[in-house]
């Protein structure tokens, strides 16, 4: 996140030095430490620690008029969020909201309107001018940290979002709707009850053999029919990576048939479907 601080009608504390800086000898930094482990719920932690040496801005934070913040932005998923934070702590993010490159920008953001703001450390060019600060104004910003994340580091569940659709004529039915970032399943009211019941560890293998296999079939068929269009979808790129990691190949458009795609879909969900159910039921090898 790159800001042109010259466009702001008030001083902004940045990493700039010399004549380009709004402040002479103040500093604002934030250290970010990523926990590489992603939980089964698709969460991961970022430990943060803000360091600020400007008394005027610190006074605004202490009085509740401003807060330490981190701005999250992911262009591929259009995820954008501002987190208001304490000086030191842990920020938990949802990996399923992110894909490819995402940015974290530490900043200080105004929470309450401020009148007659000034600082003894302001660049001499400001003279004795005071400033009116409004809610949402960014008054300090550190360099943006860029990280990368791929869906193939996440669980199958992170690619699928469900919701209840009371308008479905058959309450035991479901509809699969691909979107640019995830695949959404609209479940009838009774189907949703069953889906929730099957989320348990004991029964989830049944979902892998049924509903999830239908989703994978749709995804593979899209990848074969229109690979260029499918590759613009985040979930489709993930499925392609997973298929390649399994050492499998997509059939050609002219060679595809129902059974070939169905068998490929079965292999894709084998671990979360039949194999999981096989272990739960404690069935021995025949």
Task: Report the run of H or E that residue 278 belongs to, with start and end.
Answer: helix 274-280
> Do the beta carbons of residue 174 and residue 62 sit within 8 Å?
no
- Measured CA to CA, the distance from residue 204 to residue 120 in angstroms comes to 62
Strand pairing category for 183-187 and 160-164: parallel
The larger pLDDT score, comparing residue 198 to residue 238, is at 198
> Do the beta carbons of residue 119 and residue 11 sit within 8 Å?
yes
Q: How many residues does the chain have?
A: 286
Asked if the model's pLDDT at residue 251 lies above 80, the reply is no
The larger pLDDT score, comparing residue 10 to residue 181, is at 10
The pLDDT, as a whole number, for residue 153 is 47
Asked if the model's pLDDT at residue 81 lies above 60, the reply is yes
> What is the residue-averaged pLDDT of the chain?
85
Task: Report the run of H or E that residue 194 belongs to, with start and end.
Answer: helix 189-197
DSSP helix, strand, coil percent of the chain (3-state; round to 5) = 35, 30, 35
pLDDT digits 0-9 by tens, 129-179: 999 999 999 999 999 999 877 654 455 666 778 899 999 999 999 998 887
The fourth-level CATH superfamily of domain 5-149 is: Immunoglobulins (2.60.40.10)
User: Where does the pLDDT of residue 6 fall: very low under 50, low under 70, confident under 90, or very high at 90 and above?
Assistant: low
Tokens standing for residue 65: 């008029």
Tokens standing for residue 263: 């068998």
Pick the most confident of 32-36, 50-54, 276-280.
50-54
The pLDDT, as a whole number, for residue 157 is 66
> Do the beta carbons of residue 273 and residue 211 sit within 8 Å?
no
Q: What percent of the chain has pLDDT over 90?
A: 42
Asked if the model's pLDDT at residue 255 lies above 80, the reply is no
Strand pairing category for 79-85 and 28-34: unpaired
- CA 245, distance to chain mean position in Å, is 23
The pLDDT, as a whole number, for residue 17 is 80
pLDDT digits 0-9 by tens, 214-237: 888 888 888 888 777 766 676 777
The larger pLDDT score, comparing residue 51 to residue 211, is at 51
């Amino acid at each position: 996140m790159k800001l042109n601080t010259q466009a702001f009608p008030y001083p902004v504390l940045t990493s700039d030095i010399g004549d380009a800086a709004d402040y002479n000898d103040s500093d604002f930094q934030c250290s970010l430490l990523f926990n590489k482990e992603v939980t089964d719920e698709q969460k991961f932690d970022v430990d943060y620690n803000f360091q600020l040496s400007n008394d005027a801005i610190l006074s605004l934070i202490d009085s509740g008029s401003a807060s330490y913040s981190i701005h999250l932005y992911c262009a591929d998923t259009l995820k954008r969020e501002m987190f208001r934070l304490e000086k030191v702590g842990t920020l938990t993010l949802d990996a399923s909201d992110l894909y490819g490159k995402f940015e974290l920008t530490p900043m200080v953001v105004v929470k309450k309107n401020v009148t007659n703001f000034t600082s003894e450390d302001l660049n001499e060019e400001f003279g004795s001018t005071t400033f009116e600060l409004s809610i949402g104004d960014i008054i300090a910003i550190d360099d943006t940290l860029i990280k990368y994340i791929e869906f193939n580091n996440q669980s199958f569940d992170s690619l699928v979002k469900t919701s209840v659709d009371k308008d479905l004529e058959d309450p035991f039915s479901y509809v699969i709707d691909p979107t640019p970032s995830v695949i959404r399943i609209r479940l009838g009211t009774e189907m949703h009850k069953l889906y929730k019941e099957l989320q348990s560890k004991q029964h989830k293998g049944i979902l892998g053999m049924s509903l999830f296999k239908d989703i994978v079939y749709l995804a593979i068929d899209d990848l074969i029919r229109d690979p260029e269009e499918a590759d613009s979808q985040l979930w489709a790129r993930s499925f392609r990576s997973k298929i390649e990691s399994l050492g499998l190949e997509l059939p050609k458009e002219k060679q595809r048939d129902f059974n070939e795609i169905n068998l490929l879909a079965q292999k894709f969900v084998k671990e979360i479907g039949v194999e999981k159910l096989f272990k739960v039921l404690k069935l021995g090898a025949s």
